[in-house]
Chain A
Amino acid sequence: SYVLTQPPSVSVAPGQTARITCGGNSIGSKSVHWYQQKPGQAPVLVVYDDSDRPSGIPKRFSGSNSGSTATLTINRVEGGDEADYYCQVWESSSDQGVFGGGTKLTVL
């Protein structure tokens, strides 16, 4: 089965840029989606199809995907961005959804 690898944690100071990676075999050939989950809340889609944002998601959130790594970038990080972030792809060969293990973003 397809495996997505994320760092367990990322820390960043307010106002700086956070980059959260998601590694997978030839992930650049897949569409990658990113979710934000705050404590006690349901996940929220923040980036879909590698780099598109749903309505209502700030432009500070962006994504890229190439080769074996996809990246979620959060510019001008705010305290309210502190959350767990998950990447996700669809494994077409088996018609399965696959999540990364999640990354806890801490705002220092």
Chain B
Amino acid sequence: EVQLVESGGGLVQPGRSLRLSCTGSGFTFGDYAMSWVRQAPGKGLEWIGFIRSKAYGGTREYAASVKGRFTISRDDSENIAYLRMNRLKTEDTAVYYCTRDRLQAFEIWGQGTVVTVSS
């Protein structure tokens, strides 16, 4: 079964950092680009960034709202994608989803992990 499982969410103070993980199973992880999408409470979906597969250079792109604060990386040997979030703000409070990408669509989604930024 193809599956993505996010972890690492929690309560964090403004200005602090947090790293989320996304573990894939049931498919060849390294063959796919991976994205992160978030959803603030009661709001819509927001794409925040992605990392290409190594075959396409493993490069990354980010939404303007997180560029310079968030970093996406991957460890294909462990089937994990990471989202490192620095200088967190209260407006970063959201459910964070990782996705497996296919032809620029978000084909498979994890169940999400909740990040709450509050003092």
Binding site for B on A (CB under 8 A): 1, 31, 33, 35, 37, 42-45, 48-49, 54, 84, 86, 88-90, 94-102
The main secondary structure of chain B at its interface with chain A is: strand
Q: How far is the CA of A45 from the CA of B97 in the complex (A)?
A: 14
- Taken together as a complex, chains A and B put the C-alpha atoms of A69 and B47 apart, in Å, by 21
Sample 29 A-B pairs with CB under 8 A, ordered by A number: A1-B64, A31-B104, A33-B104, A37-B45, A42-B112, A43-B45, A43-B97, A43-B109, A48-B103, A48-B105, A48-B107, A49-B103, A54-B107, A86-B44, A86-B45, A88-B45, A88-B47, A96-B47, A96-B63, A97-B37, A97-B50, A97-B104, A97-B106, A98-B47, A99-B37, A99-B44, A99-B45, A99-B46, A99-B47
Number of chain B interface residues as a range:
20 to 34
**Is B109's CB under 8 angstroms from A90's CB?**
no
Which chain B residues (18-45) contact chain A, with CB distance < 8 Å? 35, 37, 44-45
B110 within 8 A of A: yes
B61 within 8 A of A: yes
The CA of A94 and the CA of B37, in the complex, are separated in Å by 17
3 pairs of A and B residues whose beta carbons are closest in the complex = A97-B47, A90-B104, A33-B105
Q: Is B90 an interface residue (CB 8 A)?
A: no
Cα of A89 to Cα of B64 in the assembled complex, Å: 17
Find out whether the CB atom of B106 lies under 8 angstroms from the CB atom of A95.
no
- Chain B residues with CB under 8 Å of A42's CB are 97, 109-112
User: What residue in chain B is nearest A48 (Cβ atoms)?
Assistant: B105
B108 nearest in chain A by CB position: A45
Question: What is the bound-complex CA distance between A54 and B107, given in angstroms?
Answer: 8
- Least Cβ–Cβ distance between B33 and chain A, in angstroms: 11
Cα distance A35–B39 when bound, in Å? 14
Q: Is the CB of A49 within 8 A of B47?
A: no
Give CA–CA (A54, B112) in the complex, Å: 21
